[in-house]
Structure 1
Amino acid sequence: MTQAPEELKPEWVTPGLLYLASSLCRDTGYILRASNGQFTATRFTENSGVSYPRDLARVQAGNFKEVAERWSRIKECHYVPVKVANTRADLGESPVWDARSGALYFVDITDGRINRLNPDGEVESLYESAARIGALALTDQGNLIFTEDSSVAILDVNARKVRQYSVPVHPRSTYRFNDGACDPQGRFVSGLMDEAPSGKTGALFRFDAELSDQVIHDGMALPNGLAWSEDGHSVYFVDSVARAIYRAVYLPEGRLTEVTLFAETPAELGRPDGIALDREGGLWVCQFNGSCLLRYDRHGHLTDQVVMPVTRPTSCCFGGEGMTTLYITTARFGMNAVELRHYPDAGDLYAIRPEIGGIARHAFKE
């Protein structure tokens, strides 16, 4: 093996496994574990579960310092998630911040509810349906566009009544829309999934002001979180089954080109779910069944891990004064009685205050 420079030297070696440490590493409380081209930030005494699944293929001679510097930025954050409301949602999802009213909207998919967290901290139900409500977004008129099973609808918030429906995009009852968001041109995009499941039959649909639909990307197993870059030129979207976050060029006419893998989340940390972007281009992702949120920088390098007090964070959005609060929905869905005894707060609404604030989401043009 090539001699490592002074900055980063092997601590000990076992067959197929290499541990590396430096002053940079020791400052963070972690060492670097390298195995089969994978890099894992590991505490001196315990595994942190923060990994580089795809950042560097091998530690080549002469770049040990580069590895250490890049790796040393990965840290288990000291942000403490604070409970915002005792919502006890079965499958809380799609939080949306309304800066005009200072309210936070979110849904409970399986209970078919659209809820609103008011500035006074009270939670009220705005709308209830026998259908599964998946995605939610604001309109430019202060209303809400949302999905019911495989249809899209617009809710008049003041009247609390639906005044426009799309036709269903799929005849089978197992199909429903999941997460969604609006593009920079004011159109609504949502991912259709099969709860059955049925392979890679999921797709992203775009809806215009008349709620006419068009498929803009297909071949997905479980479409999930969606977010646009601040300049609107890039869109990020999740396939939870693939544990993948993709980035694509988003053309003004609403087409995707140059779809590439932005990040593959660690297998030991559940599956990626909802996402939100901060002002530095960093991407926050909720790890369902992973008990954490992860942050990737604009290059797809893992930088932060926030441990949650519940196992199933589902989605997140920036809001609050100056867009400095990251709101996080969670779920009780699929948890058994023993798990619920250990995590009684599952399904509640949480928030953290990252060092970097977020960007506002686009509204639907009615």
Structure 2
Amino acid sequence: MKEYIAEEWLPSKSGLGESPLYRESDDTFFFVDIKNKLVHSVPLSQGWSAKHTIESDEPVTRLDIVENRSDVLAAQTKLGFALLDPMKETLDRIVDIHHIHDASLDEKVRMNDGAIDARGRWWAGTMALNEEDTIGRLWCMQGGRVCDASTEDRAAVLNGPVWSPDDKTMYVCDTPQGKIYQYDYDIENGKATNKRLFAKLEDGGMPDGLAVDVEGHIWAAANSQGKLIRFSPEGVATATCVVPEAKMCSCPTFGGVDWKSLFITSISDEGSTGNVYRARVGVPGLQRHPHRG
């Protein structure tokens, strides 16, 4: 099995480092510290010394590119979807989520991971604040409207989703259960069906953030194990990327001039640094779909 080793890159000491994002148009790297409500912007060529950091009034849990715009990012807030201007430090809300049938759940969850599909649908998962109650759901926002798209999916902490290169398969993590699931995905109507187990991490590993390469392999952050695991489309582990001093590695993303750089956030906990790492790998990553505004 191929093994890579990541190097420490940004000394961020994040309480909860998440959502790494590379924007090719201006060669900029972004990530968030959910615990401390921080959003960092880092020019790739200059590194940490040139960073720009803002502190938001509420946690920002996920960032994505906005099509044809470099002034704003698509951002998930505690309970909603928004546009974030990291320089002006403004957050313009698009729509919030609400648990229509049980409003008390609004106080028990927050947004966690998310992604945008090839048709511009913005998917997001919520998680229980206590990380124990199975009340997290999948939500989907399109055209300024959001719906509960989770059907039978309930978990304490949902991570993902990501899609295969042909958009026919969607992957979602049930992090506390150590499981990654896959669905048949209909890109034309945004329906995810036929849920089945894709992979289960061994020895108590918890799959956190996911990234996809051009060969359709899934790179999963094995939170609590200090490594990434690369799974084939058949769910077979084909490579690992060790993340030294970051037992609680949280989320990977691809970027750089050839898209072969893998950036990895981490969490300050249990002896883990909370810093950002990067590794050079042998296959390019897929570019993430932008929000179309």
Deviations 1:81-102 (A, max 9, x none): 1122111111000111101011
Aligned counterparts of 1:150 and 1:222: Cα–Cα separation in 2: 15
Give the equivalent residue in structure 2 for 1:145.
Answer: 74
Q: Does residue 1:328 correspond to 2:250, yes or no?
A: no
**Matches for 1:165-314 after TM superposition, within 5 Å:** 165-170=94-99, 171=104, 172-197=106-131, 199-210=133-144, 212-217=145-150, 218-251=153-186, 252-268=188-204, 270-309=205-244, 310-314=246-250
**Matches for 1:19-34 after TM superposition, within 5 Å:** none
**1:331 Cα shift?**
0.7
SS in 2 for 1:100: helix
Of residues 60, 65, 74 in structure 2, which corresponds to 1:133?
A: 60
The answer (yes or no) to whether the contact 2:62–2:75 under 8 Å persists in 1 is: yes
Aligned counterparts of 2:219 and 2:274: Cα–Cα separation in 1: 19
The answer (yes or no) to whether the contact 2:41–2:52 under 8 Å persists in 1 is: yes
Q: Does residue 1:124 correspond to 2:124, yes or no?
A: no
Aligned counterparts of 1:216 and 1:351: Cα–Cα separation in 2: 34
Q: CA RMSD in A?
A: 1.7
Aligned counterparts of 2:74 and 2:54: Cα–Cα separation in 1: 12
Code of the aligned partner of 1:145: A
Q: Which shifted more, 128-137 or 162-171?
A: 162-171
Q: Does residue 1:98 correspond to 2:34, yes or no?
A: no
The answer (yes or no) to whether the contact 1:113–1:125 under 8 Å persists in 2 is: no
Of residues 287, 290, 293 in structure 2, which corresponds to 1:363?
A: 290
**Matches for 1:44-55 after TM superposition, within 5 Å:** none
Distance 1:241 1:347, change over 3 A: same
Aligned counterparts of 1:112 and 1:156: Cα–Cα separation in 2: 15
**1:231 Cα shift?**
1.8
Distance 1:125 1:205, change over 3 A: farther
Code of the aligned partner of 1:183: D
Aligned-residue identity in percent: 27
Of residues 261, 279, 289 in structure 2, which corresponds to 1:352?
A: 279
Normalised by the length of structure 1, the TM-score is 0.72
Aligned counterparts of 1:167 and 1:283: Cα–Cα separation in 2: 30
Aligned counterparts of 1:350 and 1:197: Cα–Cα separation in 2: 26
Normalised by the length of structure 2, the TM-score is 0.90
Deviations 1:165-203 (A, max 9, x none): 423425533310111111111121110111124532111
The answer (yes or no) to whether the contact 1:225–1:315 under 8 Å persists in 2 is: no
The answer (yes or no) to whether the contact 1:187–1:365 under 8 Å persists in 2 is: no
Question: Structure 1: which 5+ residue stretches go unaligned?
Answer: 1-73
The answer (yes or no) to whether the contact 1:288–1:311 under 8 Å persists in 2 is: yes
Question: Structure 2: which 5+ residue stretches go unaligned?
Answer: none
Aligned length: 280
The answer (yes or no) to whether the contact 1:222–1:240 under 8 Å persists in 2 is: yes
SS in 1 for 2:258: helix
Deviations 1:323-345 (A, max 9, x none): 11010001104x3xxx3xxx5xx
**1:158 Cα shift?**
5.1
**1:293 Cα shift?**
1.1
